[in-house]
Amino acid sequence: MILRKEKAIWKIDEITVKIEMDMINLVIQKLLKYGFLLLSCILTPILRLQRFKKQKRIPTIKNHLLLISATKIARAIRRKQISSEEVVRAYVERCIAVNPVLNAIVDQRYDTAIEEARKVDEFLASTPTTEEELAREKPLLGVPITVKESFAVKGMSHSAGVKKNSSHRATRDAEVVSLVRKAGAIVTVVSNTPELCLHFDSINHVTGTTWNPYDTNKTCGGSSGGEIMANTNNDHLTIAVAEEIERAFGGWQPPPMSPV
C-alpha cells in the first residue's frame, strides 16, 4: 500500500514538473516572439530611412578595354594587337576611380604591375615562341587580375580582415596565386573580404565596408565582395579568368559519393 502511494506521489511530481517546464517554455516563446516584434518595430523604420540617403555614383566606363573578356584580351596581347601595359593601366585607372566610392581594395601594387606588363610586352617583342605555344603554356599572359586578401600575395596585406593581424604581410604567394602567375597573369590589387571570409557581406574592422555599386547604401555581399567590386561592370572578366585557370590547370573535381 505504501509503495503504491509513493508511486502515485512520484507520478504526480513528474506531471507537475512537466507542466511547469511546459509553462516556462511557453513564457520563453512568448518573450522571444514579442521581443523580436519589438526589435522589428524599432529597426524597420531606421532601415527604411536608408532608402532616402543619397547614393554615390561610380564613374561610367569610358575605356573599351574594360568591356573585353579575359580570353579575348589574352589573345589580343599574344597577337600584339594591344599591349599588356595598355590593359593593365586601364584596369589600374578604373580601380583608382571606383575605389573611393566602393572601398573594395585593401592593398595595391599598381607600379609593380605596370612594370611587369612592360616586361610581358618586351618578351612578346623578342620571343620566338608561337602564339599557339603561348596560349597553351601561358593562357593568361599579360592579363591583369585581382586577388581576395584572404589569399597570400607575396609582399601584400594578408590579414583576412582580422584586426589583430592588420599589419601582417604575406611572405610568399598562395598556391593558387602561384598558378595564375605561372599562367602569365599580373596581380594588381588584393580586395576586401569579411573577417576570415565567414560572412555573407564584406565588412571587417580593418578595411571597413565594401559597398554595392548598384546601390551604395547597401553592402555588396561576400565573401568575395571586394573581388566583384574591383571588377565592377565587368564580372565576365572574373568568370573568364576562373575558366582559363580551370582549363589550364584542371578544375576542382567533386569526391566520389560514398555508398549508401
The closest alpha carbon to 91, from 245, 237, 241, 242, belongs to 237
Give yes or no: residues 77 and 22 share one domain.
Answer: no
Q: Which residue has the cell 612594370?
A: 115
Enter the pTM of the model. Answer: 0.71
Give yes or no: residues 32 and 90 share one domain.
Answer: no
Which of 13-27, 32-46, 158-172 tops mean pLDDT? 158-172
**Total domain count, the chain:** 2
- Report if residue 34 sits inside a domain: yes
Pairing between strand 211-212 and 215-219? Answer: antiparallel
CA dist., res. 155 & res. 152, Å (int): 9
pLDDT tens for residues 47-82?
Answer: 666 666 677 888 889 999 999 999 999 999 999 999
- Report if residue 58 sits inside a domain: no
Give yes or no: residues 92 and 198 share one domain.
Answer: yes
pLDDT tens for residues 95-142?
Answer: 999 999 999 999 999 999 999 999 999 999 999 999 999 999 999 999
Which residues constitute the domain of residue 68? 64-249
CA dist., res. 110 & res. 123, Å (int): 20
- Report if residue 231 sits inside a domain: yes
- pLDDT at residue 236 is higher than 50: no
The closest alpha carbon to 91, from 109, 70, 65, belongs to 65
Give yes or no: residues 216 and 156 share one domain.
Answer: yes
Q: What percent of the chain has a predicted confidence (pLDDT) above 70?
A: 77
Give yes or no: residues 114 and 10 share one domain.
Answer: no
Residue 248's pLDDT band (boundaries 50, 70, 90)?
low
- Report the pLDDT value the prediction gives residue 159, as an integer from 0 to 100: 93
169: DSSP letter: B
- Report if residue 52 sits inside a domain: no
CA dist., res. 217 & res. 54, Å (int): 8
C-alpha distance from residue 160 to each of 40, 114, 170, 201 (Å): 32, 26, 11, 13
Give yes or no: residues 227 and 184 share one domain.
Answer: yes
- Report if residue 59 sits inside a domain: no
